[in-house]
Every structure is written in structure tokens, then in C-alpha cells.
């Protein structure tokens, strides 16, 4: 698998990015594809491991390592190294229905488990994955695969994010008639409105949606199940219902001044900007703007970085990101050994853009907001912060005031909105709404109703959402098959 001495001869070279100073002024995709020769050279570093941790998703020390989708990574790396790109695509598509999404926005836990990273640097798995699928689309290898026959059974999937689309794809290929309901005006869920288009261009989402349509999946956009249509009515109209509605209830902060104008949840900010961008190229002004404002982003995850990415492109005056954790070490700490996900200091692309723009890392580490201060118009004007010790307790004498006319809360999500679960009479708590283990972990207490993705497990990674969608679809298929057999017994 790969070249036996590749990891000794070839140094890791990741996918190139457009110049940070230039790209932060537009919405074009930030990453560039490496040459085929360079990618084959990187693929040669994949070793003939006895135990390829990269392709088996596990949770170690509370973090994901390895691929939850169970991608056959060593196999398609070997095929890329040998120049067999079409065969590499065929192996990749056996496990991952949407590698063009994961190859762009997944944090690559597969690379955390790469054995080469134990002694050197991991293989550029994510970059190679994206290169395979992009070439597959360019060469016309990605074609619709509709089922050869229909089962006569109908399934409603609620939500068109990664979990819902993965479930719809699997159920459709089993021959069931699948309708995906999406409350937004565009399909794609988080893929469309939750991720900046510079990371995941909309044409990349739309072309996959078209493949699914051509395979026979039906979509109904602009339908808010639970409000526009009753979830119990859907349960009577369809043979099964699969809830893939995500964990969209944001976590809030409880500090003085929270109700001031200019303090917003991250997804409110990101969704409005992306919708305006897609609707009018931002000409309609129907979004929250950071233009000319001092911006404080509260939170340390990917959503916080997406806020940074967006605020820069809106031409903010200044920007700081509060991270309650101390600055991570440059190398793995002794209590963070391989193959755990590496908790190390690094700059995400959006943070790198901010560093170039303002000549500093945008993060304020070990920092927490304790109050928002307002002006005469009852709008936020400053954020009062304090630094934290190792136990996250306030350190006396570290208080500081930051100018801020826009504050964005990006501190995660509590779980799914309760309306669908309440309509079914079941607990909407993501830990109580479904079984957590065994073959029935995607079934709810209501017969014929299943749940998957962030709606089941809570806020998580796109690869977990895709895998949960696949597995829930298989559970739903077994249910439909068994019920059909019982009805005809």
C-alpha cells in the first residue's frame, strides 16, 4: 500500500491555499488542488500498516480519531500512488457517499490515527480524498445509480444536511421511495447555510443534490415539519420517518448585557450572510454586517473560525476570538499520545487570514466574557473579560475591556429543537430520545420513527453525521423489510 519507503523519502506537503491576504476579500474557494504528480507522491507515504488506525473511527479521551465512515484509506492511497484514479474513486465511493464534503470541511481525524504520524507526520489523507472525488466529477465518473426496482414503501427524511442526505441515498438505493423535507428555502442544511462558501462552494453541494435527484430521491424545500405539516400526519402518510434535523439549539451565555443589540448567535450571523450572498451577492443587505466594526467572537471551535472568516470578508475594523482554553503546545503533550487526536497549537485558515490582516493571532487564550457593556442606544459597545486559571477560575487583576460593536456567540449547541419530538410524544434529549447501543440505537420509542446524526448524538463531526445517516438507513430498511414479511406471512 503505497511505496514501502515512501514515508522515508517524501516529506508531507499539504494542499496549497490561495494567498491569505488576497482570499480574505472574496468568497472563492480558499484551497487549491495540488498536481497529480504531487498527490501521487504524497500517497506514496501511506505505509503497509499492520493495523491502519486511520480507517476505523474511535473515540479516545473524548475525541474522534480515525475515520467514522470507515474509508478504505490505505487501498485508495495505493491506487492513487499507482495512478489508478478511477479505481481509487470506486474504492472511496464504497464507504463515503459525499467525499467532496468531507474532503473540504472534515477536521481529518483519519490523519490523527495515521501510523506515519507516530514518528513523523501523517499522510495528507484529506487532501487526497478531495482530489479523488474532484477528478471523478471532472472525468464524468460520478453518475447516478438509481435502484433497479422499487419496494413500494415510502420513507420521509426530515432534514437535508449530511445525515439526512446520507440516509436518503442509502434508502433510495434499497428501492424505497424517499422524500427529504427541508425547512430552509435551499437544500443542504448545514452544508448550504452553516459553512462559509469559501470553504464549501455551493456548486459543490448542488451538483451532489442533482445526482441524488437523478437517482430518484425527492425533495421538498421550504417545508417546516412540525409547523407547516404535522409530524404525526407524516407518520401516517409514510411507512417510516427518519429525523435528521440536527442539533440546532445554540448554547447561550448568562452574563450582564446579553440582551444588548449587536450580540448574536453565530448561526444567525453565518446563515444570514450566506443567504444574502447566494440570493443577491450581498447586494440586498439582508444580513448582519461586521463592516467597520470591532468584532468579538466567543468560542474556540470551527463555527467560531467560520465567524472570523465571514467578518474579515465583510471588512471588520478589528477582531478577537475568546478561547477559554490556554494556548496548546506546539507538539503533543505526554497526556495526549498517538493515536489520540492531537491537541496542539495551530492556525486554521480563517485565523491565518486574521493574523495576516491584523498582524497577530486573533485568539485571546484563557479568556472569558463576564459582561457586555452598552451605549446610549442600548447596543453593545464593549466586552468586559477576565483571564482564567487552569481550573477555569477567574484570575484577579486580569480584567480587560475590549471595544466591540458586534459580538458573536459560537459556543456550541445544546441539542435538537424539541418540536418534532414533542409532536411524537417522546423525549427530545439526544441521550434519551433513542437507544445508544445495539442494532436499535437509531429507533425511537415510536414505531417506525428513527433518529440519526446530531439530533441523536448531539453536536458532532460531519463524518459522524454521514455514518449515522448510513447506519440509520440500514436500520430503517431492516424494519421495513421485516414489517413487509410479517404483513405477507
The whole-number average pLDDT for the span 196-201 is: 98
The residue count for the chain = 489
User: DSSP letter at 70?
Assistant: -
Contact residues for 27 (Cβ-Cβ < 8 A; gap 6+): 196, 197, 198, 277, 313
User: DSSP letter at 229?
Assistant: B
Percentage of the chain modeled with pLDDT above 70:
97
What is the secondary structure of 100-134 as a DSSP string? HHHHHH---HHHHT-GGGGTS----HHHHHHHHHH
Percentage of the chain modeled with pLDDT above 90:
92
pLDDT at 436 over 60: no
* From 131-145, 160-174, 303-317, 422-436, the region with the lowest mean pLDDT: 422-436
Burial 266-293 (b: 16+ CB within 10 A, else e): bbebbbbbbbbbbeeebeeeebbbbeeb
pLDDT at 407 over 90: yes
The predicted structure's pLDDT at residue 433: 42
**How do residues 298-308 score in pLDDT, each as one tens digit?**
999 999 999 99
The whole-number average pLDDT for the span 331-353 is: 96
**How do residues 24-41 score in pLDDT, each as one tens digit?**
999 999 999 999 999 999
The predicted structure's pLDDT at residue 435: 43
pLDDT at 430 over 70: no
What is the secondary structure of 371-382 as a DSSP string? EEEE-TTSBEEE
CATH 3.40.50.11540 fits 252-411, yes or no: no
User: Domain 154-249+414-487: what homologous superfamily?
Assistant: FAD/NAD(P)-binding domain (3.50.50.60)
The predicted structure's pLDDT at residue 54: 96
Q: What is the mean pLDDT of the chain?
A: 95
Query: Identical fold at 6-139 and 154-249+414-487?
Result: no
pLDDT at 434 over 50: no
CA distances from 414 to 246, 321, 421 (A): 11, 21, 15
What is the secondary structure of 12-53 as a DSSP string? --PPPB--HHHHTTS-S-SB-PPPHHHHHHHHTT----SS-G
Q: Band of the pLDDT at 485, cuts 50, 70, 90?
A: confident
Which residue carries 453593545 as its cell? Answer: 380
Sketch the domain layout of the chain as residue ranges. Answer: 6-139, 154-249+414-487, 252-411
* From 216-220, 300-304, 381-385, 423-427, the region with the lowest mean pLDDT: 423-427
Q: How far apart are CA 66 and CA 57, in angstroms?
A: 4
**How do residues 460-477 score in pLDDT, each as one tens digit?**
999 999 999 999 999 999
H/E stretch holding 488 reads none
Q: How far apart are CA 327 and CA 314, in angstroms?
A: 27
Q: How far apart are CA 157 and CA 144, in angstroms?
A: 20
Q: How far apart are CA 154 and CA 159, in angstroms?
A: 16
The predicted structure's pLDDT at residue 50: 83
Give the CATH number of domain 6-139: 1.10.1060.10
Q: Grid coordinates representing 424?
A: 411524537
The whole-number average pLDDT for the span 146-169 is: 98
Amino acid at each position: 500500500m503505497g511505496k514501502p519507503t515512501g514515508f522515508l523519502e517524501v516529506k508531507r506537503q499539504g494542499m496549497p491555499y490561495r494567498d491569505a491576504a488576497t482570499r480574505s476579500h472574496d468568497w472563492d474557494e480558499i484551497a487549491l488542488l495540488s498536481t497529480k504528480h504531487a498527490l501521487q507522491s504524497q500517497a506514496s507515504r501511506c505505509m503497509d500498516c499492520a493495523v491502519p488506525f486511520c480507517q476505523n473511527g474511535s473515540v479516545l479521551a473524548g475525541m474522534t480519531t480515525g475515520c467514522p465512515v470507515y474509508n478504505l484509506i490505505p487501498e485508495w492511497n495505493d491506487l492513487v500512488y499507482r495512478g489508478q484514479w478511477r479505481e481509487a474513486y470506486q474504492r472511496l465511493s464504497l464507504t463515503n457517499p459525499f467525499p467532496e464534503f468531507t474532503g473540504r470541511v472534515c477536521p481529518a481525524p483519519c490523519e490523527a490515527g495515521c501510523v506515519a504520524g507516530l514518528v513523523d507526520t501523517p499522510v495528507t489523507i484529506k487532501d487526497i480524498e478531495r482530489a479523488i472525488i474532484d477528478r471523478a466529477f471532472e472525468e464524468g465518473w460520478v453518475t447516478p445509480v438509481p435502484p433497479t426496482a422499487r419496494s413500494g414503501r415510502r420513507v420521509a427524511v426530515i432534514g437535508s444536511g449530511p445525515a439526512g442526505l446520507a440516509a436518503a441515498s442509502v434508502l433510495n438505493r434499497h428501492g424505497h421511495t424517499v422524500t427529504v423535507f427541508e425547512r430552509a428555502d435551499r437544500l443542504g442544511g448545514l452544508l448550504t447555510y452553516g459553512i462559509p462558501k469559501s470553504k464549501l462552494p455551493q456548486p459543490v453541494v448542488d451538483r451532489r443534490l442533482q445526482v441524488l435527484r437523478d437517482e430518484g430521491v425527492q425533495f421538498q424545500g421550504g417545508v417546516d415539519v412540525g409547523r407547516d405539516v404535522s409530524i404525526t400526519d407524516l407518520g401516517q402518510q409514510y411507512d417510516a420517518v427518519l429525523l435528521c434535523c440536527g442539533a440546532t439549539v445554540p448554547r447561550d451565555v448568562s452574563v450582564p448585557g446579553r440582551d444588548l443589540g449587536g450580540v448574536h448567535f453565530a448561526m444567525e450571523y453565518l446563515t444570514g450572510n450566506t443567504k444574502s450572498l447566494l440570493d443577491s451577492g450581498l447586494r440586498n443587505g439582508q444580513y448582519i454586517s461586521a463592516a467597520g466594526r470591532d468584532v468579538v467572537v466567543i468560542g474556540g471551535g470551527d463555527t467560531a473560525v467560520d465567524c472570523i472568516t465571514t467578518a474579515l470578508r465583510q471588512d471588520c475594523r478589528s477582531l478577537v476570538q475568546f478561547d477559554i482554553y490556554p494556548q496548546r503546545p506546539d507538539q503533543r503533550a505526554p497526556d495526549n499520545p498517538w493515536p489520540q487526536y492531537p491537541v496542539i497549537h495551530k492556525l486554521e485558515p480563517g485565523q491565518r487570514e486574521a493574523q495576516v490582516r491584523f498582524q497577530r493571532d486573533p485568539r485571546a487564550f484563557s479568556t472569558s466574557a463576564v459582561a457586555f457593556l452598552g451605549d446610549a442606544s442600548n447596543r453593545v459597545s464593549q466586552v468586559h473579560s477576565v483571564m482564567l486559571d487552569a481550573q477555569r477560575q477567574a484570575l484577579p487583576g486580569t480584567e480587560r475591556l475590549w471595544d466591540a460593536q458586534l459580538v458573536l456567540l459560537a459556543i456550541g449547541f445544546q441539542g435538537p429543537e424539541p418540536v418534532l419530538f414533542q409532536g411524537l410524544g417522546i423525549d427530545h434529549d439526544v441521550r434519551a430520545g433513542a437507544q445508544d447501543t445495539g442494532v436499535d440505537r437509531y429507533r425511537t420509542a415510536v414505531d417506525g420513527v428513527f433518529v440519526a446524526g446530531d439530533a441523536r448524538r448531539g453536536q458532532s463531526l460531519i463524518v459522524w453525521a454521514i455514518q449515522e445517516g448510513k447506519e440509520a438507513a440500514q436500520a430503517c430498511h431492516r424494519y421495513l423489510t421485516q414489517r413487509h414479511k410479517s404483513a405477507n406471512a
